[in-house]
A = this chain, B = another copy of it.
Amino acid sequence: MNTVKHATADHPIHELIARRWSPYAFADRPVSDEDLRSLFEAARWAASSYNEQPWSYLVARKSDAAAFEQMLSCLVEGNQAWAAAAPVLALGCTSTRFARNNNPNAAAVHDLGLASANLTLEATARGLFVHQMIGIVPARARAVYQIPEDVQPLTALAIGYAADPDNLPEKYQARDLSPRPRKALAQFVFGGAWGTASDLVR
């Protein structure tokens, strides 16, 4: 049984955006290779500055226990506690310099976000869930995967099917069962000056 946490949106939004949330409880059910390929294919078609496509993903499935444990060891302990149950883990990395001229890419981290959002919406369309984390140990990821200096390991993604949170530690259970709070539009959509709500959303 999945927990349903639809967005309580103030204005109509596409159901894929409304249905997406980040569970702590993952079901003991594998993700097919076909589905995973489509998730990365969705990331592939994200926009990027100068079409640099700076993102890359390292991926580990639980069916390869050694590879999975290795990736799990790159998460901070708090995240290992629940992410160990996910059938798939990925590390989101981004190239901080443009391939063609080695100049710094100011959009590199932003564009990893664009790609991971695409991946996550494709997952939602397939009944899957993605829980992204900033809580990784970058130095460990660099060492384990020989990540080059100009590539930044930034996020981890737990991918799988959501589960009933009953078996989770209490702290995470409460998070999975609580609603999804959000700022009001007037708190982040501004008009003539930062902090002043646009008339659109007043």
Q: Chain A interface (Cβ within 8 Å of chain B)? A: 7, 9-14, 16-18, 20-22, 33-34, 36-38, 40-42, 44-47, 49, 51, 53, 55-60, 67, 70, 93, 106-107, 109-114, 116-118, 120-122, 125, 132-134, 145-148, 151, 154-155, 180-183, 185, 188-195, 198, 200-201
Contacts and interface: CB of A to CB of B under 8 A. Distances in A.
| Number of identical monomers bound together in the oligomeric complex | 2
Given A59-B200, A118-B117, A189 B45 contact: no
A132 B111 CA distance: 10
Instruction: Describe A's contact surface by its main secondary structure.
Output: mixed
A193 B57 contact: no
Contacts of A10: 37, 41
